Structure 1
Amino acid sequence: MITPDYCREMARYNAWQNDQLREAIYGLPVAEITRDRGAFFGSILGTANHLLWGDDMWMARFGAGPLPEIALAESPALTPTPAAWAGARRRLDMRIIAWADRLAALDLVGDVSFFSGVEQREMSLPVGLAITHFFNHQTHHRGQIHTMLTQAGAAGPVTDLIFRKR
C-alpha cells in the first residue's frame, strides 16, 4: 500500500506545512488565533493543538514516543499560546521525520494495535492504513486551519505537495 519513501515524503511535507502555519499564525493577533470560529476544535490554536495531540498519539501508537498525557477532549488546550504550540510542533515534526527516516519496508507490513479512547475498545489496523490515516488526518485539519486563517485575514499558505522544495 505505501513505502518508506512515501512516509519520508509525507513527513517532510507535514513539517513544511507546519512551518508555513507557524509563520501565518505569528502574523495574527492572539485574539484572532484564539477566537472560536465554529470549527470542530473551535479556534485556530485549538485546531492546531488538536492536530499536535493527534500526531503525538499516532507516534506513540507507532512506537515512536509516549502517549499524550491528556485525552482527546482536552486536546484543543494542549498548549496555552501560539509560541508554546510552535515549539512543541517543531519538536514533534522533527521526531516524525526521524521516525520516517528509520522505516524499512518490513516495518510497513502487519498490523498496529492500540486502545481507542474514541471507540473505547482495542483496535487493530493494517500499519499501512494507519500511517495513511495519520498523514491524511494532518492534511484534513490543516485545511480547516487554512480556512480559519483566511477568515482572520491572513494569507493562506501554499498547500500543494508538488510545490514543496526538495
Structure 2
Amino acid sequence: MINRDYCVTMARYNSWQNKQLTGFLEALDPAELTRDRGAFFGSILATISHLYWGDHMWMSRFDGGSKPTQSASESTTLFPTLAVWSAERFRMDGRIRIWAENLRSVDLAGDLIWFSGISGREMSKPMAMAVTHFFNHQTHHRGQVHAMLTAAGSKAPVSDLAFMPDSF
C-alpha cells in the first residue's frame, strides 16, 4: 500500500504546508483566528489545535513517544495563542520527519493495535492504513483552514503536492 518514501514525502509535505500556513496565520488580525466560522471545530485556532492534537496522538502510537495529556474533547483548546501553537507545531513536524526518515519496510507491515479513547475500545488496523489516515487527516483539516482563511479575506498557501519545493 505505502512505503518509507511515501512517508518521507508526506512528512516533508506536512512541514512545508505548516510553514506556509504559519505565515498566512501570522498576517491575520488575532481576532480572526478565534472567530467562529461555522466550521466543524468553529475557528481557525481550534482547528489547528485539533490537528496538532491528532498528530501528537498518532505519533505516540507510531513512535512510542509522548502523547497528549488532554482528551479528544479538549483538542480544540490546547493553544492560547498562535505563537504557542507555532512553536509546538515546529517541534511536532520535526518529530514526524525524524520518524518517517527512520522507517523500515517492516515498520509498515502488520497491524497497529491501540486503545481509542474516542471509541472506548481497543482498535486494530493495518499499520499502512493507519499511517495513510494520519497524513490524510492533516490534509483534510488544513483544507478546512484554507477555506477559513479565504473566508477571512486572506490569501491561502499553495497546497498542491506537485508544487512542493525539492529543497524543502
Tell me the TM-score range normalised by the shorter chain. over 0.9
Which one-letter code corresponds to 2:137 in the other structure?
H
User: Could you say which residue in structure 2 is the equivalent of 1:22?
Assistant: 22
Instruction: Tell me, yes or no, if structure 1 residue 112 matches structure 2 residue 103.
Output: no
* Off by >4 Å, runs of 4+ in structure 1: none
TM-superposition CA deviations, 1:15-54 (whole Å, max 9, x none): 0000011001000011001101111111000000000000
Aligned-residue CA RMSD in angstroms?
0.7
Aligned mates of 2:64, 2:158 — CA distance in 1? 29
Q: Which runs of 5+ in 1 are unaligned?
A: none
**1:56–1:65 CA contact under 8 A, matched in 2:** no
The sequence identity of aligned pairs, in percent, is 57
Return the alpha-carbon distance in structure 2 between the equivalents of residues 144 and 104 of structure 1: 32
User: 2 CA distance for matches of 1:65 and 1:42?
Assistant: 30
State how 1:90-105 maps to structure 2 within 5 Å.
90-105=90-105
Check whether the contact 2:3–2:105 (CA below 8 A) recurs between aligned residues. yes
Matched residues, number: 166
Instruction: Please give the TM-score of this superposition, normalised by the length of structure 1.
Output: 0.98
* C-alpha separation in 2, matches of 1:48 and 1:88: 11
Is the 1:16–1:164 Cα contact (8 Å) retained in structure 2?
yes
**Inter-partner Cα distance in structure 1 for 2:64 and 2:31:** 34
Unaligned runs of 5+ in 2: none
Aligned to 1:67: 67
Q: TM-score, normalising length from structure 2? A: 0.97
